[in-house]
């Protein structure tokens, strides 16, 4: 294959356009840096592609998908979801070690997974940065809460986050917009939690309830997951990349699948080699520095595939840690029927997409007594949702039968359910990692990842605690747990889509790939700005910390470029 | 659209509106007339040509859909909401569904003939009900495992009929979903909150 090299040298090539890449693009172009952005998927056209406000009956398949995908689990987020990616991408496989399970959700479009994600926006707690010091498990981060806090402030102020000052150590307060009022079932959950001494506070969501930087406030249609045409929620595509395009300092290469980072004799990255998917040709972009933000596992894959005589284990991997320390968040869900809600006057509960309240972890001082080392938070669901395909399958499975009595049961029960979902911390373990599959390449000829994944007892015990707690909350509301209380268990690895840790940061080049600025120990002009640098995976969704770290890394890189250090 | 159906539809509509407005008929009756209107409207739009099902299968599927979601005092039945068309469209595009439905409808007829010496559409309502009562509940397979194919099929028929009905404007109205509008400020009606708090005992 003939490789085409681009003539201009870009200051920085950013690989990946999700929360990390989008933040890097915004910060660097603001600071006058010329950026080339590589995205493995197409450009995004929200006006055309977001299905906000569309009714199911406005499409013949009612949202099941043209080929009934929703009935066979092939489009887990449904037809109406923002264009976001897949558990399986045609021609781009990954493998899983025999006898194990792992699911990898990848996005191939400008904005990546931020187009559809849950917008939950949580700061890590002070103790989350020092897990080893706290309980002897895992590894401490090379930075503290106080060091990253200014960038949490900047990220929150810029993207816009709802919330309230609560003074809870496990959930540090931030720069907040007014939260939305709790829905009726959420008030009941709050009251029940109050009786159980579980904090239940206004949700922290990347949704603006007041105008911000030319974006208009949320209109409470509840359809954040479909993509927001008014950009009232955070997505890197609409909030960071589209505005940065106006700077004149951003060049976007879409359908560009990064294959390898090319280094020179001094061990610095000089170019990014990528596949132009439209022509299936290999091209190169020359650069002074590179920020890899392709998502944790994809970033690890790129580094592992960037092998050369000087870097036989892959780039930035003299420590051998790239691909190791992979974690996902633990997940467990339970639903309940709440008779108190039956017969209530129907009203519009759409609100912000997702729960208006959540429960941060509350037992951080009692970990020893409860028998497992790390915590979880609880997300809530319920209300009068828009009827959709599969929405009543649970009811029909429970009641069975048919006819007028079934119809009445569905009507009477509508809106009387609550759902609780636990999201907890997994501790990195030796058996969970990704490496390059020695035999399989994707359709572009790039060697693929092979996953190895095992939960430990720590996580299993944590999920049992969720099970008992959720049942208590539902019963405290006078509700009945749906189905067998003992049924179901921990999520499959990868399923919560918080996979991270595969290119971790640290002060010691022997045990980490990146320094405290997410700069490779081995390669001074190589940075990583997604969730790959994370040293642990606390019980808080990673997006805000990705944004904060990327912001800090980008400012550092701009300064280093100015000084001529990279 | 023929003049006859147009005239009949307009007449029905004006009757329903004027009678309901005058309080001469109850909501249920007005609803019935509305149903009539919908039926006539649909007929006027042209007869749907099934892509997958034979005329006999189509008739059976429609009957089954209306047994699953019949008209009641609140809303019309599943066929008024386009359930057979929805199933036909997806079965046409998905081979697994095609097999599930053509196979299931065949099973239903054979079983009905075996038990009642009639195809399902020709069986008496009591006979239809007797057969559905067997396949509408998973636990019946314990006593008679030969029902399993019918139970599996009925689960699909019920699932997709229910989906078609509640995703239609008729179903949305039946169930009382009033959103998809947006608001300037998110508000919760105080009386709804008071109602639930009182009933929960948490207030």
pLDDT > 70 fraction of chain B, expressed in percent and rounded: 78
pLDDT of residue B83: 98
Per-residue pLDDT of A521-554, as tens digits, reads 999 999 999 999 999 999 999 999 999 999 999 9
Q: How far is CA B34 from CA A167, A274, B18, B41, in A?
A: 57, 61, 12, 10
Residue B8: exposure state from Cβ atoms within 10 A (0-12, 13-18, ≥19):
middle
- Measure B202 CA to nearest chain A CA, in Å: 6
Alpha-carbon distance B161 to A313, whole Å? 56
Please answer yes or no on whether B70 and A407 come within 8 Å at the CB atom: yes
Position A85 scores a pLDDT of 83
Q: By 3-state DSSP, what share of chain A in percent is helix, strand and coil, each rounded to 5?
A: 25, 20, 50
The C-alpha atoms of residue A317 and residue A74 are separated, in whole angstroms, by 36
Looking at CA atoms only, how far is residue B49 from chain A in angstroms?
15
Q: Tell me the average pLDDT across A326-337.
A: 97
Mean pLDDT of A54-60: 96
Give the per-residue pLDDT at B14. Answer: 40
Q: A101 to each of A91, A441, B176, how far by Cα in Å?
A: 20, 20, 41
The reported pLDDT for the residue numbered B13 is: 41
pLDDT at A9: 85
Q: Report the residue from B158, B177, B184 with minimal CB separation from A402.
A: B158
Convert the pLDDT of each residue in B55-108 to its tens digit: 999 999 999 999 999 999 999 999 999 999 999 999 999 999 999 999 999 999
What does B149-173 look like in DSSP terms, one character per residue? HHHHHHHHHHHHHHHHHHTSHHHHH
Residue A116's contacts (CB-CB under 8 Å, 6 or more residues apart) are A77, A81, A82, A83, A84, A225, A226, A227
| Amino acid B17: pLDDT | 39
Own/partner contacts of B145-152, CB < 8 Å, gap of 24 or more, are B149/B103, B149/B104, B149/B107, B150/B104, B150/B107, B150/B108, B150/B111, B152/B100, B152/B104
pLDDT of residue A83: 82
Whether residue A75 is predicted with pLDDT greater than 80 in this model: the reply is: no
pLDDT at A502 over 70: yes
What residues of chain A lie within 8 A of the CB of B157, using their CB? none
Among the partner residues B160, B180, B191, nearest to A345 by beta-carbon distance: B191
Banded model confidence at residue A487, pLDDT cuts 50, 70, 90: confident
Contacts of B94 in chain A (CB under 8 A): 67-68, 71-72
pLDDT at residue number A84: 75
What is residue A477's DSSP assignment? T
A431/A298 Cα distance (integer angstroms): 19
Q: Token pair of A465, please?
A: 């605690």
pLDDT at A174: 98
Percent of chain A with pLDDT over 70: 98
Contact yes or no for A336/A381 (Cβ under 8 A): no
Please give the pLDDT value at position A5: 65
- Residue A512 predicted with pLDDT over 90: yes
User: A363 with A375: CB under 8 angstroms?
Assistant: yes
Q: Which residues of A touch B68 (CB under 8 A)?
A: 402-403, 406
d(CA A158, CA A109): 23
- Which chain B residue's Cα is nearest to A356? B186
Local confidence band at A3 (pLDDT 50, 70, 90 cut-offs): low
Q: Tens digits of per-residue pLDDT, A440-457?
A: 999 999 999 999 999 999
pTM: predicted TM-score of the whole model, two decimal places: 0.92
Q: How many CB pairs under 8 A join A and B?
A: 189
> A293-308: buried (b, 16+ CB within 10 Å) or exposed (e) per residue?
bbbbbbbbbbbbbbbe
Q: What is the mean pLDDT of residues A391-402?
A: 96
pLDDT of residue B7: 37
Nearest-angstrom CA–CA distance, B55 and B125: 21
- SS3 letters across A137-205: CCCCCCCCHHHHHHHHHHHHHHHCCECCCCCECCECCCCCECCCCCCHHHHHHHHHHHHCCCCCEECCE
B108 min Cα distance to partner chain A (Å) = 16
Say how far apart CA A206 and CA A216 lie, in whole Å.
13
Q: Cα(B172)–Cα(A114) distance, rounded to whole angstroms?
A: 30
Backbone φ, ψ for residue B149 (5° rounding):
-60, -35
pLDDT at A324: 98
Q: What are the chain A neighbours of B153 within 8 Å (beta carbons)?
A: none
Distance in angstroms (rounded) separating the CA atoms of residues A260 and A244: 26
Q: What is the pLDDT of residue A6?
A: 60
Nearest alpha carbon to residue A72 among B39, B93, B47, B171: B93
Chain A interface, best mutation among B120, B168, B196, by max A CB count within 10 A:
B196
Q: Hey, what are B82's tokens?
A: 């386009």
CB pair distance less than 8 Å for B196 and A187: yes
8 A C-beta contact, residue A322 and residue A514: no
Residue numbers in A near B160 (CB within 8 A): 71
Condensed to tens digits (0 to 9), the pLDDT of residues A353-377 reads 999 999 999 999 999 999 999 999 9
Which residue does chain B place closest to A474, by CA atoms? Answer: B200
* Residue A241 vs residues A30, A36, A211, B103: alpha-carbon distances, Å: 11, 12, 19, 51
Inter-residue contact A232 to A216 (CB < 8 Å)? yes
- In this complex, do B196 and A344 lie within 8 Å of one another by their Cβ atoms? yes
| pLDDT higher at A6 or A46 | A46
Q: Do B137 and A401 touch (CB under 8 A)?
A: yes
> What is the Cα–Cα distance from B91 to B199, expressed in whole angstroms?
45
| Interface mutation vs chain A, best among B141, B162, B169, B183, most A CBs within 10 Å | B162
Output the average pLDDT for chain A: 96
pLDDT at res. B3: 34
How far apart CA A158 and CA A171 sit, in angstroms, is 20
| CA-based nearest residue to A317, from A503, A38, A565 | A503
Q: How far apart are CA A160 and CA A138, in angstroms?
A: 32
How high is the pLDDT of residue B157? 98
Contact B199 A339 (CB under 8 A): yes
- How much is the pLDDT for A220? 98
Contact B200 A340 (CB under 8 A): yes
Mean pLDDT, rounded, for A93-100:
97
pLDDT for the residue A196: 98
Q: Which residues of chain B have pLDDT under 70?
A: 1-45
pLDDT of residue B26: 41
């Amino acid at each position: 294959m003939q490789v085409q090299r681009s003539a201009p040298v870009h200051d920085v090539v950013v690989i990946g356009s999700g929360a990390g890449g989008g933040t890097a693009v915004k910060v660097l172009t603001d600071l006058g840096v010329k950026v080339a952005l590589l995205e493995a998927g197409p450009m995004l056209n929200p006006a055309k592609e977001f299905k906000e406000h569309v009714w199911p009956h406005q499409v013949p398949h009612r949202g099941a998908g043209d080929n009934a995908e929703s009935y066979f689990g092939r489009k887990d987020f449904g037809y109406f979801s923002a264009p976001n990616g897949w558990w399986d991408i045609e021609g781009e496989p990954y493998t899983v070690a025999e006898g194990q399970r792992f699911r990898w959700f990848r996005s191939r479009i400008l904005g990546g997974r931020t187009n559809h994600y849950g917008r939950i926006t949580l700061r890590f707690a002070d103790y989350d940065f020092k897990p080893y010091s706290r309980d002897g498990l895992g590894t401490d981060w090379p930075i503290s809460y106080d060091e990253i806090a200014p960038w949490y402030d900047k990220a929150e102020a810029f993207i816009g986050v709802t919330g309230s000052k609560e003074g809870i150590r496990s959930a540090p307060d931030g720069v907040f917009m007014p939260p939305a009022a709790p829905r009726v079932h959420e008030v009941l959950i709050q009251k029940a939690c109050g009786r159980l001494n579980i904090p239940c506070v206004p949700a922290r969501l990347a949704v603006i309830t007041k105008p911000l930087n030319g974006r208009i406030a949320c209109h409470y249609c509840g359809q954040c997951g479909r993509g927001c045409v008014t950009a009232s929620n955070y997505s890197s595509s609409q909030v960071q990349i589209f505005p940065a395009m106006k700077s004149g300092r951003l060049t976007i290469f879409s359908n560009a699948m990064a294959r390898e980072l090319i280094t020179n004799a001094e061990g610095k990255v000089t170019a990014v080699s990528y596949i132009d998917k439209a022509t299936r040709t290999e091209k190169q972009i020359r650069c002074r520095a590179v920020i890899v933000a392709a998502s944790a596992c994809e970033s690890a894959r790129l580094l592992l595939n960037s092998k050369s005589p000087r870097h036989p284990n892959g780039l930035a991997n003299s420590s051998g840690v790239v691909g190791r320390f992979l974690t996902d968040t633990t997940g467990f869900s339970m639903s309940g029927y709440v008779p108190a809600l039956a017969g209530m006057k129907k009203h519009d509960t759409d609100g912000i997409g997702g729960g208006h309240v959540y429960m941060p972890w509350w037992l951080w001082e009692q970990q020893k007594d409860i028998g497992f080392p790390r915590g979880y938070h609880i997300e809530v669901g319920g209300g009068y949702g828009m009827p959709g395909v599969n929405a009543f399958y649970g009811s029909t499975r429970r009641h069975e039968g048919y006819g007028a009595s079934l119809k009445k049961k569905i009507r009477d029960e509508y809106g009387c359910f609550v759902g609780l979902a636990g999201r907890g911390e997994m501790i990195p373990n030796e058996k969970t990692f990704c490496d390059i599959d020695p035999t399989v390449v994707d359709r572009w000829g790039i060697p693929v990842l092979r996953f190895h994944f095992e939960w430990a007892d720590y996580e299993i015990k944590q999920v049992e605690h969720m099970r008992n707690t959720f049942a208590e909350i539902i019963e405290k509301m006078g509700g009945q747990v749906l189905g067998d209380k003992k049924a179901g268990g921990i999520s499959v690895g990868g399923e919560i889509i918080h996979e991270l840790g595969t290119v971790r940061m640290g002060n010691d080049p022997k045990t980490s790939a990146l320094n405290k600025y997410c700069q490779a120990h081995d390669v001074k002009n190589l940075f990583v700005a997604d969730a790959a640098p994370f040293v642990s995976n606390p019980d808080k969704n990673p997006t805000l910390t990705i944004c904060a770290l990327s912001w800090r890394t980008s400012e550092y890189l701009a300064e280093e470029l100015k000084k001529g250090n990279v | 659209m023929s003049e006859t159906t147009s005239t009949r539809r307009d007449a029905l509509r004006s009757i329903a509106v004027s009678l309901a407005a005058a309080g001469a008929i109850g909501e249920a009756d007005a609803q019935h007339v509305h149903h009539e209107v919908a039926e006539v409207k649909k007929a006027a739009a042209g007869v749907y040509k099934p892509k997958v099902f034979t005329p006999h299968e189509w008739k059976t599927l429609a009957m089954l859909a209306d047994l699953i979601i019949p008209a009641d005092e609140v809303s019309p039945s599943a066929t008024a909401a386009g359930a057979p068309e929805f199933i036909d469209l997806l079965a046409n595009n998905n081979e697994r569904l095609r097999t599930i439905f053509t196979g299931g409808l065949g099973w239903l007829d054979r079983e009905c003939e075996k038990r009642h010496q009639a195809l399902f559409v020709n069986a008496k309502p009591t006979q239809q009900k007797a057969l559905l009562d067997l396949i509408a509940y998973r636990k019946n397979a314990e006593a008679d495992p030969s029902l399993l194919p019918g139970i599996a099929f009925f689960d699909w028929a019920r699932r997709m009929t229910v989906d078609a009905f509640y995703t239609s404007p008729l179903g949305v109205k039946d169930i009382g979903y009033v959103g998809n509008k947006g608001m300037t400020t998110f508000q919760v009606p105080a009386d709804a909150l008071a109602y639930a708090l009182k009933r929960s005992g948490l207030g």
